[in-house]
Structure formats: C-alpha cells, structure tokens
Amino acid sequence: MSEIEKKDQTSTHKIGIYLWIWGLLFVLSFFSYLVDWYQFQGLLRWSLILIFMFLKAGLIMAFFMHLFWERYALVNVLLWPMTAIACFIVLMVAEFKYTLFTRIFYFFIGG
C-alpha cells in the first residue's frame, strides 16, 4: 500500500465554499428548467442550454471534484483528451446533417 504523507490531506476547505457551489447548482438547474418552461426556441434555447450545462459541469468538476485545487499535471491529463471528443462531435454534426440531407433530398424532394 502506498501511504502518501498524511499531513497534507488533512488540510481542507471551509464549508462555505461547498454550500455556495451547492446553492449555485440549484439556481443554475432552475434556470435551465426555465428554458423549457418558457419554451425558448432556436439559437437562444441552444445557447442557454449549453451555457447552463457547461457552468454546472464546470462547477461540479472544479469544486466538488476538487479539480480547481489539483495540480495542472492532473487537470491537463484529464482535459486534453476532450479534444478528441470535440472533434468527434463536430464531425458527427456534419455527418448527420449530410445524412438528413440525402434522405430528405432523395426520398422526399427528388430531382
């Protein structure tokens, strides 16, 4: 078993920061619920959904999962692989648009 020096693990954060983040998460969740409640549509809806989503995800990762206090070596190892996911997402958006286009064009519109 590796016993990492105990002394540094005892240093913790004030309870206030957790309560703050907790509260913020509730507020943000409420906001993203309101996006649906007021039936915003189009670009506004999408940007609001994504903003609230990333804020919530960021808060959870940074404070609840302690990434804010971790050393950059760990943070970077965790975040860089997301570029592969981002690339996958972007290309799949292009792909589904193309598939939808061919389906609608050849099966419904014709030419």
| Smallest distance from other proteins to CB 56, Å | 5
Q: Which of residues 20-49 bind other proteins (CB under 8 A)?
A: 21-22, 25-26, 29, 32-33, 35-37, 39, 45, 49
- Angstrom CA distances, 5 to 9, 12, 37, stand at 8, 15, 51
| Smallest distance from other proteins to CB 69, Å | 5
C-alpha to C-alpha distance for 19 and 45, rounded to whole angstroms: 29
The reply to whether 60 sits near other proteins by the rule CB under 8 A is yes
State the chain's maximal CA–CA distance in angstroms: 74
Residues 64-103 vs other proteins: string with x where CB under 8 A? Answer: xxx--xxxxxx-xxx--xx-xx-xxx-xxxxxxxxxx-xx
DSSP string, 61-84: IIIIT-GGGS-HHHHHHHHTTHHH
Residue with Cβ nearer other proteins (43 or 85): 85
Among 5, 16, 41, 42, binds other proteins (CB under 8 A): 5
Going through the chain in order, the beta strands assigned E by DSSP cover none
